[in-house]
Amino acid sequence: MEKQNIIVMGASTGGFEAFKKIVSDLPPDLDAAIFIVWHMAPTIRGVLPHVLSQVNSIPAAHAVDGEPIVMNRIYVAPPDHHMLLEPGHVRVTRGPKENRFRPAVDPLFRSAAYAYQSRVVGVILSGALDDGTSGLWNIKYRGGKAIAQDPNDSQVPSMPESAIRQVDVDYTVPLAEIGPLLTRLASEPAGVKKQVTMKEDEKTKAEIKIAADDDAFGINILGYGELSPFACPECHGVLTLLKDGNISRFRCHTGHAYSADVLLETITEKIEESLYSAIRGVDESIMLLNHLGDHFAEANHSALAARYFQQAQKAQQRSELVRKAVLLQGQMNMEDLIPPDEDKS
């Protein structure tokens, strides 16, 4: 009898302490395999497995490409690598970033749902924006269980809030209850496997191949969605709009993927970068105009010098306008876009 013993967990800010707490609450003989993605910079040395090994005797280590999946083991995605599941073994790849991260939560959740269907339990923990929501939807779509940390109990509530808002989660619980809940679920039989449409099945398979670093262009992701008017912030390719139920997200032909919220934040950041680049250019022109004005003044060409100084003053006025635009633009706060009656923070 198959059990719900494939547990996948994802978090970003606030996730380190959350993972420690959950693992410390698990029995040392837990009959389940646990897979963890925690957002981190690619240059950071991954210390999470060592820390988890200190709070529980369940073996914890960075996943190795091709290693078998065994029960009573914790697999952690290594820095700058996606972790994917295939029947019986783990894949560790350097496929395109998703939601600006590698490792990202969605590829793990998506591949787990595809490989193990109703045996999967997905857990979304503390973190910003909404990585993991699409993957959690896939887990539910294929018959697995969905858990979200209570946003009021999260250091950063955005990831669990997004999951709760867009996925029919089975449990919304505080951190202290997640370990005991996972222990109970891992001992229960897996639910009935759900029927999946052929189009959804093919789309999921294609996206897993992209995360596995297959040729994204040859996979033709456009065939699973429709062209959008937006350009990929990383490679400037045209983004394809994809749908997971009512969830909208985007992927380019080279493989980069974005949720709608992450795409919006990235575009906002790019606008600010462009505005500062414009300020730099205008400031350089001001310095050059003043330099030339000084040069002509020293050469007793006062009329010509005056024209350069006048142009410098006009450029200074333009620079001030752009600086005001930067202040008005700011960084968009995604929580401000949620209607008050849907705000769970």
Catalytic residues: 12, 39, 131
| 271 and 258 Cβ atoms separated by less than 8 Å | no
Do residues 8 and 122 make contact, with C-beta atoms less than 8 angstroms apart?
yes
Helix ranges restricted to H, the chain: 15-24, 48-55, 105-116, 133-141, 158-166, 175-186, 198-211, 216-219, 260-298, 302-329
158, 335 contact by CB (below 8 A):
yes
**Residue 163 — left, alpha, or beta (φ > 0 → left; ψ -120 to 50 → alpha)?**
alpha
Q: DSSP for 162-223, please give it.
A: HHHHHS--SEEE-HHHHHHHHHHHHTSBP-PPPP--HHHHHHHHHHHHHHTT--HHHH-GGG
CB 42 within 8 A of CB 79: yes
Tell me how crowded residue 328 is: count the other CB atoms within 10 A of its CB: 8
Amino acid at 119: R
Q: In what order do the strands lie in the sheet with 247-252?
A: 226-231, 238-244, 247-252, 257-259
